[in-house]
Structure 1
C-alpha cells in the first residue's frame, strides 16, 4: 500500500509539472503575439509606395535563314487502292525531281496524307461531271536555304504532274532569337519612357518592382499565294517569289518602378 501511494504521488506531481510547463509556454506565446501586434498594425497602416507603370514596345528585324515551300500531290482513283497507288507513283516522281534540284532528302518531309471521297463537280450547265470516286492528297514540306532560288524551285515543282502549290514561308534557325531581341528592345523602350516621365515630374526612379511579360508576334509580309496547278507537259517557269530582307518581331512588356523623391 505504501509503495502504491508513493507511485500515485509521483504521477500526480509529474502531471502538475507538465500542466505548469504548458501554462508557461502559453503565457510566453501570448506575450509574444501581444508585443508583435503593434508592429503588425504599423505595417498594415504603412502607405503603399507611389509607383510608375510603363508599357514598352520593342522591335527586331533579322534576316531569314531558310524558306519552306508547301506543296501537295493529288491523285484520284475509282477505289482507295488505285488513288493511293497513283499518289505513290506521282510522289516518287516529285521527290526525284526535287532532289535533282539540289534539295537533300532530309529536307523533304510529309506534312499530311489523307484519302477522301471526291466531291461532286458540275459543268457550266449544272450537269454533274463524272469523276473518280476517291482522292488521295499527300502534303509535302520542302526546306531550302537558297532564298534567291525559291521562285525557280517552286516553278520546277509545279511543272510536275498532279501538283498543287499551297504556300511559302520564311524562318530562322533559332526561332526564339527574334523574340528575345524584341524583348530587350521593349525593356529599353520602357526604361526610356520611365526616365522621361520621372524627369518631367521632378522625381527619380526607385527600385524595379514588377516585370510583366507581354506577347511576341512575328510579322511576315503577306503574299498572294493562291493554290496553283500546272499540267505535266507545262515547261518549268520561275514563280515571282521575292524573299523578305528581314523577318520582323514585335514585343510588349510592362515595367513598374517605385517613385523616389529627388534629394
Structure 2
C-alpha cells in the first residue's frame, strides 16, 4: 500500500512538470521612461545676398514656325554674344525654356480656330556673381534685343557659415526656454537627449519685370533671412 502511494505521487509530479511550459522565463523588468523637457529653439540672421539670377530672353512672332524659329535664333544669338562680351562665364548662362507655339485667331464662329502665326520663345537663366552688376546686365540684355525679363532673384551663394552660427543660437534659445520650464517645475536640466533641426532658408525673391524695361532701371537686392528651428529634449536630473 505504501509503495503504491509513492508511485502515485511520483506520477503526479512528473505530470505537473510535463504540463509546465518548457521555455517560460520571468519577464524582464520594465525600464522606466526618461523624464524630459522638450522645447523648440529658433534663430535667424539676415545677410546681404552675393549672387543674383536673371531670367531673360526673346520672343518672336511669324507666319510660319520656321520663320519664327529663325528670327528667334538670330535674336538670341545676339543676346548670348553680348553676355559673353560682358565677361560672363559660359557656365553661368543656361537655357531655361525653348518653345514654339501656334497662335490662334480670335473668332466667335463655331469650330476650330485658325492659326494665324507662331510664337517662338527662348529664355536663358543668367547667374550674376557680383550683384552690383545686375542693373548694368539688364541694360545689356535689353540693348542686345531681349524683349522679356521674366524675373530677378537674389540669394546667398554659400549659406553654410552663416547657418552654423544660427544653429548655435537656436540651441541656446532652446536651452533658455527649457531652463524657464525647469525652474517653474522645481527641477534641473540634464544632458540633451534628442536634437533635431528644421532648416528654412529665406525665400529667394523673384521680381517680375514685364517686357524690357528702360535703361538704368534700379535694382535692390535687399537681404535674405536664414532661419533654423531645432527641437531639443533635455533630460531631467534626478533629485
Q: Same fold (TM over 0.5)?
A: yes
Partners in 2 of 1:201 and 1:29 — Cα distance?
A: 49
**Paired residue for 2:221?**
243
Unaligned runs of 5+ in 2: 1-16, 108-113
**Paired residue for 1:217?**
201
Partners in 1 of 2:141 and 2:216 — Cα distance?
A: 10
**Paired residue for 1:9?**
none
**Paired residue for 1:127?**
none
Shift of 1:29: 6.3
Which of 132, 145, 156 pairs up with 1:161? 145
Partners in 2 of 1:65 and 1:133 — Cα distance?
A: 42
Change (3 A) 1:215 1:240: same
**Paired residue for 1:65?**
50
The CA deviation string for residues 230-249 of structure 1, in whole angstroms up to 9 with x for no partner, is 6xxxxx611110222x4211
The SS at the match of 2:188 is: strand
Partners in 2 of 1:76 and 1:158 — Cα distance?
A: 18
More helix by share: 1
How do 1:1-263 residues align onto structure 2 when only pairs under 5 Å count?
A: 30=23, 33-34=24-25, 36-37=26-27, 40=28, 42-43=29-30, 46=32, 48-118=33-103, 120=105, 133-174=117-158, 176-220=160-204, 222=205, 224-229=207-212, 237-244=215-222, 246-262=223-239
Unaligned runs of 5+ in 1: 1-22, 123-129, 231-235
The TM-score, its normalising length taken from structure 2, stands at 0.76
- Number of residue pairs matched by the alignment: 216
Moved over 4 A (4+): 119-122, 175-181
The TM-score, its normalising length taken from structure 1, stands at 0.70
